[in-house]
Amino acid sequence: MGEPLLALLFMLSAVVAFVVAAVGWRRRRVTPAVGTLAVVAGGIGVWSMTDGLLMLNEGLTALHPLLVVKFTAVCAMPAGLHCLSLAVVDRAWRLSRRTALWLSAEPALVLAALLTNPWHHGFITVMDPAGLWGNRGANVGPLFWAHTAYSYTLIAAGIVRLLGAWLRGPRFQRGLYGSTLLGTVPPALVNVVSTFGVIRVDYLTPVGFCVTTVVVYWSLVRRSLHELVAVERTHVFDMISDMVMTVDLAGRILDLNPAADRVLRRLAPDLPARVAGVSAVDVFGVMRVGDGVETDHSVVDARGRGVDLNVRVSALVDSRGERVGWAFVGRDVTALNAQRWALREANARLQEQVATIEALRADLAEQAVRDALTGLHNRRFLMEALGREMRAAGVSGGSLSVALLDIDHFKQINDRYGHGAGDQVLMRFAKLVGGRVRAGDVVARYGGEEFVIVFPGASGEQAVERVEAIRVWVAAGRVPAGGHTLSVSFSAGVAGWCSGMDAGEVLHAADEALYAAKRAGRNRVVLAGGAGAVVSGDAVPGTGAGTGAVPGTDAGGDAVPGAGAVPGAEAEAAAA
């Protein structure tokens, strides 16, 4: 590549670097990384510009001043890259005065060595336009190599720092670390191999570092600038509404934020202006501590009011991993606890009200399916239960039977003794029948003096036997009604359920059997579709054969007070 073209390349690189430096410097307050990059870009711009001028220089007159300017800019490069690596890896990093003085020491020594070089030739031994760098260089001395070793050490430290952050740092920032490495390592390697004579391409170093500034600036501004904006920890610490306090192992307060200070002075208003050194136990009392412990702690303030604190405790360790104290992060939850207690009490009252309402609802629901007079289930419940049992029998293939019971000559009881007596007969009859059925059977008042019993799992013949036992039990009893002792009997029809029948059909079959029992003389049980009826009235003394009359009734079956009853029957019934 010809010298004019190389000089033009250097000048273009200088222009690009100066533009990056100007733009970055205007945004230096956003994050230290951008300001540091602006300084590095300015140094690279000066370096490129002086290399371009050296390329066009034909004599030794301007060679020494240009080399002084060039190496001043070159010295800024390692220090700038070192600071850039710190700013990129740690967004809270700031250039301290001590670091700035330390980093400026080597450039100052190099500048002094160059200015005094004509007397000692320790940095540049021979000025020769036909020297090393692009045929416009010089032979170098030991001071140059000392400067080179120092510069490479700073650059290597920055590269190692960036590499470690790229390997172990947050995943969302690895792109920034990688692009910074990609922009820094290649030109640095080119400079190394050129400086030690492996490949003579010194003129590419400033051009490569110019590309570095562009790549890093793009990564900072376009990709990760928001992640590098420094946050003032002290400001955030003071703005936290939760109390934050650190204590040593002896329990003395080391540091605290304003929120913690307000809580402490609420508990102990006579605390000194400087709280550091005060015993935390004297203010908060004994508190359970342990790394990762979260506890609720209650104290009393100066006015005698309770203060509830929710506190999280973490251990403070030194660089050797030894515990040196504790960090407390707490929150005043007094008002929150009061709200919680009020909510619990309101919830308890609400639960009581819900339980009362549920009991009332269950009672109302039960009343809705109960007959008010007899206490048995009503017709509505009967139809629901019968439908349910029919579905269950259909699924399991089991048996199901229904009995329809009708009190014999009930109208005559009402006419002869009054409806009050009739009601007493109904209640007593319901009690007698309900006491003789098995668990799982359903007894319901079907209407008037008619009652229905549902026998799940029973065939028609089995149901007839069980109804017959109930009939004998009822006929043998005495019913007090209207001041009289009555004998009561009933007729019943039984129907077995068959697959395909609905509730209305099976009840109709039982009703037909009931009418057959009445036509046959009452006080008997008839199975629908059966060959005959079960008749028990014939075996009772004092009755006509086959009439179905029971003691205490007339020939027509009407209940007559005292008729056919043994002496004292009324008293026995009343006693019962």
Identify which of 8, 22, 16, 17 has the alpha carbon closest to the alpha carbon of residue 51. Answer: 8
Question: What is the average pLDDT across 489-496?
Answer: 95
Residue 272 makes CB contacts below 8 A (sequence gap 6+) with 278
What band does 399 get if pLDDT is binned at 50, 70 and 90? very high
Better pLDDT: 119 or 554: 119
SS3 content of the chain, % helix, strand, coil (to 5): 55, 15, 25
Cβ burial 46-67 (10 Å sphere, 16+ → b, else e): bbbbbbbbbbebeeeeebeebb
pLDDT digits (tens, 9 = 90+) for 421-474: 999 999 999 999 998 899 889 999 998 999 999 999 999 999 999 999 999 999
The DSSP-derived string for 207-226 is: HHHHHHHHHHHHIIIIIIHH
Helix, strand or coil, per DSSP, at residue 491: strand
pLDDT digits (tens, 9 = 90+) for 294-303: 888 888 877 8
Give the predicted TM-score (pTM) of the model.
Answer: 0.41
Instruction: Return the residue matching tokens 């490069």.
Output: 77
pLDDT of residue 546: 34
Of the candidates 214, 213, 193, the one whose C-alpha atom is nearest the C-alpha of residue 204 is: 193
What is the rounded CA–CA span in Å between residue 440 and residue 523? 26
Gap between the Cα atoms of 152 and 355, Å rounded: 82
pLDDT higher for 193 or 200?
193
What does the alpha-carbon distance between residue 87 and residue 97 come to, in Å, rounded to a whole number?
15
Residue 537 and residue 497: Cα distance in Å, rounded? Answer: 28
**pLDDT score, position 423:** 92
Backbone φ and ψ of 308, nearest 5°: -100, 130
Q: For the chain, how far is it from start to end, CA to CA, in angstroms?
A: 133
Q: Please give the backbone phi and psi of residue 366, each rounded to the nearest 5 degrees, phi first.
A: -70, -40
- Please state the rounded mean pLDDT for residues 539-544: 33
pLDDT at 481: 79
Tell me, what's the pLDDT at 409? 92
The whole-angstrom separation of Cα 107 and Cα 395 is: 99
Nearest one of 205, 230, 156 to 51, comparing CA atoms: 205
What's the pLDDT score for residue 569? 35
In this predicted structure, the answer to whether residue 538 has a pLDDT above a threshold of 50 is no
Nearest-CA neighbor of 467 among 514, 516, 504?
514
